[in-house]
Structure 1
Amino acid sequence: MQGESTGYPDVAAHPAGDAHVAVADPHLPPATQPVRGVVWAFHMLVPLLALWLLLAYAERLNIAWEHPVSHFALIVGIAGVNVVLGLMISRAAARRDDARLLLVSLVFLTCAGFFLLHGLATPTIILARGSYGFDIGQPVGLLMASALAFTSSLPLGERAARAVIARADLLRAGLVVVLVLWGCASLVEGLTPLSAPPPKGGATIGALSWAGAALFGVAALQMFRIHRRRPSAMLVSLVTAYALLSESMIAGFFRPNWLLTWWEWHLLLTMAFAFVAYSAYIQFRREGSSHGLFDSVALAATVRRIQAQYDEALEELVGHLRRMGERGADDAPLATRLAGKFRLSEGQAAVLDRAGQALAAERELSLRLGALVDVGRQARVGLREEDLLRDALERVRQAYGDVRLGLVHEGRVEIGGRSFGAGDFAGGEPVAAGGAVMHPLTVKGVLAGVLKVPVGTTRQDDALAATLASQLSIALENARLYRELETLFRQYMSPDVAASLLADPRQAALGGSLVELTALFADLKGFTSFSEKVSPGEIVEMLNRYHTAAVPCVLRHGGTIVQFVGDALLALFNAPAGQERHAEMAARAGLAMQAAAERIAAGNPGYPRFRIGINTGMALVGNIGSPELRGFNAMGDAVNVAARFEALAEPGTVVIGATTREQIGDAAKVRPLGPLALKGKEHSVEAYVLTALD
């Protein structure tokens, strides 16, 4: 998995080429940081400065040095470097199926071919004297290479890239044909004018040198733009090479043979290709393989495809290592397969294997921590014990594997074919048994169950399993305590009051606050005379039947029952829990209570009948009593008036106050009772018999 050391953080998922590569985190690469940028620019300007000095002081500095053997050795050496680079990049292009890499490889192969022919045309090597082909062969080759370099720097779209790849063999064959024809024309004496002596003063390709310089310059700028988005050493070397080749084309315009300007031109060519070769060598040394040396030069679509392959390989590696851990055996050497797929060295495969194991362990740790968090979230008050344990085990098995849980029955726990008791867990320590670890689950310090967890592979696994057992113990204890609360505590007070106390125990403190509420009073008309005629058992049965029917009506409409007093009950709406439309909800609860009571009374003609009074107003709500014994209640004129309405109501009716009717609005169907003089009230009070609610 080579070539990714520079990374591709900014590649967006666009189908076209590099023009659509988005910059996720814009930054300047090292080559364009202020100090390094100055040094890099200095290196680029020095050759041009040297050319200017040689031309400006031509008589004193631009001296001639004719040495054909040195020239031949230099040119053949450059050609050899180009052949190696061209073939390596060509292999990368075929492997990645990438058009840009193909074009860049043709740049180097074109230079290699024409450089070799230029070297063979050196005087005294094959031909006895100079030739026209010797003078223009190298500039012509560079001109062709500049066109390929310019094309390689373009943001090729998918269609253009496919067209280039489809013609790869044709392009290579065409290059070979051109080189063969040029070689025959320039090396076979008397065959063509190219093998003839050059004109007096030397041969040049004139303005075409400047065209080549411009094409190389534009290619360098385009590659630099790619480097800004996708920093890499190979792109820096390619930018430098294109820039130096552009300068060499400029120097070639002022190049009478064998003068220092002519030699400088050759030196620039050497430096250009040496930069690329040196960068490839350094990256090869760092990564130990040539498989991905030139990936950073590829088109954006190729980079995305490479990233997808690496992501898939990593996922495959992690999945394999996880399965390997579950099976306890390595029956498929995945690291070896990946090493073959990505051409990794043996040492790299070993590093990949260790990195994969570390990644798998990290991922497994994250999954197990996530399972612990989810178990803690599920262990909330209100879940049935069976549902809690089922949901917790389902989540835990996703992270821990084959986890089993057994609960105590008659002092023992049967799990995994073995029986465990409290004596098997001395000091609460887990017990190893058959490739698994048994962790005790306790409730109030007493053994309540056993959790069976597979033996872990890392040092964190034992601690995580112990934490899981503690979490499940807490959840189990909470579920059982809540069940006791449901059985005892909630049967003696309203669920809203109980829930409020559980959420905030400070609400049990003595004191209260003034709030608007709707109070509902209900009692049984004729209860005293009924009690004188029947036995105590029948009285209790009658009360329980009525209250069993009435209480759900109150709770269903959000009311809170704060007290039963004999045959009477008091319910509050909008206290302690806030409630919108509390007056309407109280009225609906009253009508529902009467309907339920009528069904009971219809089957028992001697039973007394409910009468209900409802009133809305301000009241003091809170805990009233002493530090030793207290109760939740409401006091105030609004509550007292509701009690007076209840006393005035006829059996089977619901009487409401003016404020209650006003808050309900037109939905209330009422029959006015007129102004009523109530005990303890200086002024009369309006009241209504509620007959229905829309």
Structure 2
Amino acid sequence: MPSNDHAEASAGEPYLPPATQPVRAVVWALHLAAPLLGLWLLLSNPERLNIRWEHPPSHFLLVVAVAGVNVGLGLLVGRAATRRQDARLLLVSLVFLAGAGFFLLHGLATPTVILPRGSHGFDIGQPVGLTVAAVLAFVSSLPLGERAAAAVLARADLLRAGLVVVLVGWGWASLVEGLTPLSAPPPPGGATIGFVSWVGAALYALAAALMFRVHRRRPSAMLVSLVTAYALLGEAMIAGFFRPNWLMSWWEWHLLLTLAFVFVAYSAYVQFRHEGSSQGLFDSVALAATVRRIQARYDEALEELVGHLRRMGESGSPSGPPVATRLAGKFRLNEGQAAVLDRAGRALAAERELSARLGALADVGRRARVGLGEEDLLAGALQRVRQAYGEVRIGLVSDGEVTVGGRRFGADDFKGVEVIPFGGSVVHALTVKGKLAGALEVPVGATPQDEALAATLASQLSIALENARLYRELETLFRQYMSPDVAASLLADPGQAALGGSLVELTALFADLKGFTTFSERVAPGEIVEMLNRYHAAAVPCVLRNGGTIVQFVGDALLALFNAPAAQERHAAQAARAGLAMQEAAEEIAAGNPGYPRFRVGINTGLALVGNIGAPELRGFNAMGDAVNVAARLESLAEPGTVVIGATTRDQLGPGATVRPLGPLVLKGKEQSVEAFVLTALD
């Protein structure tokens, strides 16, 4: 299974924290190189510098002190491993405990403490113990995957017990005189453990390098101290290779051990003083999965705090310490940290509330689109706004007054004031064209930003309300005097109202009533209007349903365009369907009124100049060109109840059209004859 740390490393170029910037990197390198330089100086001048100083009490106290530091670190890291259930922390704790155990045994094996003289165990105990710790350090630095980490945690007790058994066995063998060769004097020429020393040094070097990679992705002072400690322990293994005992180079070995673990202990102390708690001292050392889990727990805690603060804000109850106290106990925070968390939660709650209100304002703006009815607009806006502002109420003016929140307001109430305080709320006026149109009641905000947002909300709702009412007027007046497509095009792009036009292929449909003049002569004007309205009421929907645009009514005639101004892919077929539907609807009217004139329809397809024609003071949308003229001529030649189409229209309809040829027709104003057809059906 791929490891979490490896996936984290492959996510991109690692961040270079201040501790690894070039200047500090040089200082760090010098810090680690100084002990090796000292060792080289001692070995290069053995008689002058590498002098012998044999003082068993000093050695005992130094080693036992280092062992004590290691025990403290091991227990701290072990507690963190148990609390976080992290395999890396468990292994790091075993590194310190193994070092502590072997250092203590090495100190007890110091001549004149328990044994009267030097022993083989005294010579090799510390290198062996460091090598055992090096193996644990190397394994701890590996990017353990979930399965491997779970396997290590499952064997935590076995690992601890095994370490205790090894330490007890080594102590028994090395401190009981005459029991094993470890308690006997070292062999002539000293102990030969060079291979062990170099293996341990290599393992520490690898562990330091792997931990440094973790540090680059997750900068931390504790990781820096751990990397430094591993490097110093590796150097100690190298220094320990150059014997004999009690020389300055031998003492340097012990000094490096002391520096390594004191460095980690001091870093932990500084971090504890800085944070005021031991809760997260070693979290940065943990595996990536553990760090994400810890972060998720902190996020949950902050969410819990924010939710509590939000509920308190909605209920109006005073803030108290129960949640902060519970979280402080849960995460072992001190009072200062709990106070910071409380302030952070309040700030986050305020920020989220602000974001929610800004989002509600944006939604109200999006909902206030042209064409949305006033009731739907206000209902949708109110539902959305209440999610962010709480119990918001809207009232509209009726008989000059508006009722909101159980109180009536008139226009005079808002003269000279922007808002009216009303219990735990404020009331803003909603206006249309400067006149009172309604009122908005919003709960009182906690900050000046809340007051400004409430005023902005009132302004946004006023604009939306005014737009809805203006659009309703436009629907009633403007749209009934022109095609919906033309009206929509002008609303979307007012520049289309400019005089001029463009050449477009379209299909023109002309329709009028055969015998209209005779009918008009024998009936009253009121009957003429009634007849025209009945026919047009039946004909207009046929055009609109098929995507046509009616551009003219001239007495009993109408002109409809297809593919202008709205584009249509099959405009000829749409015009043909509209013509047939018009005749069908007109026949139903004529059947019940024998004296009514009959519709005739002419349709033709071709190029025409489409645009606004007229004067700056008065203009109209229309089409001009031969294609339109031919459609008018075909309509004048059509028999009542029929639809006559031109050859171009017939070609675009294809085989699905049922037609009857009329042959070449000589049309007024045309030098050449025109092929025409009577359309009777269309698939």
TM-score exceeds 0.5: yes
Aligned length: 681
Contact in 2 for aligned 1:676/1:686 (Cα 8 Å): yes
SS in 1 for 2:458: helix
**Aligned counterpart in structure 2 of residue 326 of structure 1, from 314, 327, 338:** 314
**Aligned counterpart in structure 1 of residue 82 of structure 2, from 94, 106, 114:** 94
- The residue number in structure 2 matching 1:248 is 236
The answer to whether structure 1 residue 105 and structure 2 residue 77 are counterparts is: no
Change in Cα spacing, 1:678 to 1:586, as seen in structure 2 (3 Å) is same
SS in 1 for 2:153: helix
**Aligned counterpart in structure 1 of residue 412 of structure 2, from 423, 427, 435:** 423
- The residue number in structure 2 matching 1:410 is 399
More divergent stretch after superposition (611-620 vs 640-649): 611-620
- The residue number in structure 2 matching 1:158 is 146
Cα distance in structure 2, aligned partners of 1:632 and 1:428:
48
The answer to whether structure 1 residue 357 and structure 2 residue 341 are counterparts is: no
Change in Cα spacing, 1:156 to 1:624, as seen in structure 2 (3 Å) is closer
The answer to whether structure 1 residue 80 and structure 2 residue 68 are counterparts is: yes
SS in 2 for 1:665: helix
More divergent stretch after superposition (446-455 vs 196-205): 196-205
**Aligned counterpart in structure 1 of residue 203 of structure 2, from 207, 212, 215:** 215
SS in 1 for 2:416: helix
Which letter does structure 1 place at the counterpart of 2:5? Answer: D
Cα distance in structure 2, aligned partners of 1:291 and 1:25:
30
Which letter does structure 2 place at the counterpart of 1:512? Answer: G
Which letter does structure 2 place at the counterpart of 1:623? Answer: N
- The residue number in structure 1 matching 2:459 is 470
More divergent stretch after superposition (154-163 vs 71-80): 154-163
Cα distance in structure 1, aligned partners of 2:533 and 2:204:
99
**Aligned counterpart in structure 2 of residue 541 of structure 1, from 530, 539, 544:** 530
In the TM superposition, residue 320 of structure 1 has moved relative to its aligned partner by: 2.0
Cα distance in structure 1, aligned partners of 2:577 and 2:634:
17
More divergent stretch after superposition (58-67 vs 186-195): 186-195
SS in 2 for 1:450: strand
Contact in 2 for aligned 1:519/1:614 (Cα 8 Å): yes
Contact in 2 for aligned 1:425/1:431 (Cα 8 Å): yes
In the TM superposition, residue 111 of structure 1 has moved relative to its aligned partner by: 0.8
Cα distance in structure 1, aligned partners of 2:96 and 2:499:
91
In the TM superposition, residue 350 of structure 1 has moved relative to its aligned partner by: 0.6
Gaps of 5+ in 2: none
- The residue number in structure 2 matching 1:664 is 653
Cα distance in structure 2, aligned partners of 1:136 and 1:125:
17
Contact in 2 for aligned 1:23/1:229 (Cα 8 Å): no
Alignment of 1:223-262 (within 5 A): 223-262=211-250
**Deviations 1:550-603, CA, capped at 9 Å, x for gaps:** 001111111111111111111111222222222221111111111111111122
Change in Cα spacing, 1:331 to 1:664, as seen in structure 2 (3 Å) is farther
RMSD of aligned alpha carbons: 1.9
- The residue number in structure 2 matching 1:637 is 626
- The residue number in structure 2 matching 1:10 is none
The answer to whether structure 1 residue 433 and structure 2 residue 393 are counterparts is: no
The answer to whether structure 1 residue 581 and structure 2 residue 570 are counterparts is: yes
- The residue number in structure 2 matching 1:655 is 644
- The residue number in structure 2 matching 1:118 is 106
Cα distance in structure 2, aligned partners of 1:576 and 1:536:
35
The answer to whether structure 1 residue 43 and structure 2 residue 31 are counterparts is: yes
- The residue number in structure 2 matching 1:340 is 329
Which letter does structure 2 place at the counterpart of 1:88? Answer: L
Cα distance in structure 2, aligned partners of 1:202 and 1:258:
13
Alignment of 1:128-147 (within 5 A): 128-147=116-135
SS in 2 for 1:20: helix
More divergent stretch after superposition (641-650 vs 297-306): 297-306
- The residue number in structure 2 matching 1:8 is none
**Aligned counterpart in structure 2 of residue 313 of structure 1, from 301, 307, 311:** 301
Cα distance in structure 2, aligned partners of 1:157 and 1:507:
66
Cα distance in structure 2, aligned partners of 1:581 and 1:635:
21
Change in Cα spacing, 1:636 to 1:428, as seen in structure 2 (3 Å) is farther
Cα distance in structure 1, aligned partners of 2:450 and 2:394:
18
More divergent stretch after superposition (60-69 vs 540-549): 60-69
Which letter does structure 2 place at the counterpart of 1:493? Answer: M
In the TM superposition, residue 169 of structure 1 has moved relative to its aligned partner by: 2.2
Alignment of 1:168-183 (within 5 A): 168-183=156-171
- The residue number in structure 1 matching 2:13 is 26
Cα distance in structure 1, aligned partners of 2:581 and 2:78:
87
Which letter does structure 2 place at the counterpart of 1:155? Answer: P
- The residue number in structure 2 matching 1:597 is 586
In the TM superposition, residue 368 of structure 1 has moved relative to its aligned partner by: 0.8
In the TM superposition, residue 486 of structure 1 has moved relative to its aligned partner by: 0.9
SS in 2 for 1:585: helix
The TM-score with structure 1 as length reference comes to 0.94
Cα distance in structure 2, aligned partners of 1:18 and 1:618:
69
Contact in 2 for aligned 1:670/1:690 (Cα 8 Å): yes
**Aligned counterpart in structure 1 of residue 511 of structure 2, from 522, 525, 545:** 522
SS in 2 for 1:383: coil
- The residue number in structure 1 matching 2:369 is 380
**Aligned counterpart in structure 2 of residue 495 of structure 1, from 454, 473, 484:** 484
Gaps of 5+ in 1: 1-13
Cα distance in structure 2, aligned partners of 1:648 and 1:316:
82
Which letter does structure 1 place at the counterpart of 2:11? Answer: A
Which letter does structure 2 place at the counterpart of 1:656? Answer: I
SS in 1 for 2:505: strand
Contact in 2 for aligned 1:204/1:253 (Cα 8 Å): no
Which letter does structure 1 place at the counterpart of 2:125? Answer: G
SS in 2 for 1:622: strand
Cα distance in structure 1, aligned partners of 2:394 and 2:2:
52
Contact in 2 for aligned 1:412/1:419 (Cα 8 Å): yes
The answer to whether structure 1 residue 483 and structure 2 residue 437 are counterparts is: no
Which letter does structure 2 place at the counterpart of 1:546? Answer: Y
**Deviations 1:336-368, CA, capped at 9 Å, x for gaps:** 222111111111111111111111111111111
Cα distance in structure 2, aligned partners of 1:22 and 1:222:
11
Contact in 2 for aligned 1:202/1:257 (Cα 8 Å): no
- The residue number in structure 2 matching 1:399 is 388
Cα distance in structure 1, aligned partners of 2:601 and 2:269:
96
In the TM superposition, residue 332 of structure 1 has moved relative to its aligned partner by: 6.9
In the TM superposition, residue 17 of structure 1 has moved relative to its aligned partner by: 4.4
In the TM superposition, residue 31 of structure 1 has moved relative to its aligned partner by: 4.1
In the TM superposition, residue 608 of structure 1 has moved relative to its aligned partner by: 1.0
The TM-score with structure 2 as length reference comes to 0.96
SS in 1 for 2:362: helix
Change in Cα spacing, 1:249 to 1:22, as seen in structure 2 (3 Å) is closer
SS in 2 for 1:650: coil
**Deviations 1:122-175, CA, capped at 9 Å, x for gaps:** 223333332322222212211211121122122323233222222222322332
Higher RCO (C-alpha under 8 Å, 6+ residues apart): 1
**Deviations 1:275-328, CA, capped at 9 Å, x for gaps:** 212222232232221111111111222122112212222222222222221112
Alignment of 1:282-321 (within 5 A): 282-321=270-309
Cα distance in structure 2, aligned partners of 1:111 and 1:502:
82
**Aligned counterpart in structure 2 of residue 506 of structure 1, from 495, 511, 515:** 495
